[in-house]
Structure 1
Amino acid sequence: MITENQYFDGNVKSLGYETAEGKSTVGVINPGEYTFGTAQQEIMHVVEGELEALLPDATEWISITAGNHFEVPANASFKVKAAVQTAYLCQYR
């Protein structure tokens, strides 16, 4: 089953699906800054565009360009900033 998700007044939209490895979503983030919370470990791959991320316990933003990823542990909070529309794949493990 494919699920549709919308966050931050429609500025982040994704489609969710499940594989043998677990749940994943693919989506697009509009320009802006957003704070997310995790229930599971998340592996966030940037497919197209670029994100800046402020990871849990970090004090400096890092840049993640297309083809790269970052990981966030379960039960944590992190921020992302996008200057342009950015496509992503998020794996929940």
Structure 2
Amino acid sequence: MTTQTFDGVSVSTQASVYFDGKCVSHGITLADGTKKSVGVVLPAELTFNTGAPEIMECVAGGCQYKLASTDDWKTSGPGEKFSVPGNSSFQIRVTEPYHYICHFG
């Protein structure tokens, strides 16, 4: 099931804008201190680097992704998630806006 809302959160009002506007996100902090980001990736092929492990959850749209440790492109659609190891990277291909939640940790 796709996450639709978060209750009781603190939201960063200034967006983080990456790749000349191809990715825009807002940081949120849940009541228990858990940090996440919510955003959109516009049509592009991009490479993201990670510090901490991440779980990418597709809220709407879809993407193809390839983890740094693999040669295989996989697909992620609404309600689906994929995990990215910390201190790694992943490539993402987007042909329609990909709305996501990034779960850190």
Please classify the TM superposition score into its range, dividing by the shorter chain length: over 0.9
1:56 Cα deviation from its structure 2 partner: 2.3
Q: Does 1:83 align with 2:95?
A: yes
Which amino acid is the alignment partner of residue 29 of structure 1?
A: V
Using CA pairs under 8 Å that are at least 6 residues apart, name the structure with larger relative contact order, 1 or 2: 1
What TM-score, normalized to structure 1?
Answer: 0.94
Deviations 1:26-70 (A, max 9, x none): 001100101000010100000000110001211010000111000
Partner amino acid, structure 1, of 2:29: E
CA RMSD of aligned residues (A): 1.1
Q: Which structure has greater strand proportion? A: 1
Whichever of the two has the greater Rg, that structure is: 2
**Superposition TM-score, scaled by structure 2 size:** 0.84
Match of 2:7 in 1: none
Instruction: Return closer, same or farther for 1:21/1:54 CA change in 2, 3 Å cut-off.
Output: farther
Unaligned runs of 5+ in 2: 1-10
Aligned-partner residue type, residue 23 of structure 1: K
SS in 2 for 1:15: strand
Q: Aligned partners of 2:101 and 2:62: how far apart in 1?
A: 13
Q: What residue ranges of structure 1 are gaps of 5+ in the alignment?
A: none
Equivalent position amino acid for 2:92 in 1 = V
* Matched residue count: 93
Q: Report percent identity of matched pairs.
A: 33
Displacement of 1:22 in angstroms is 2.1
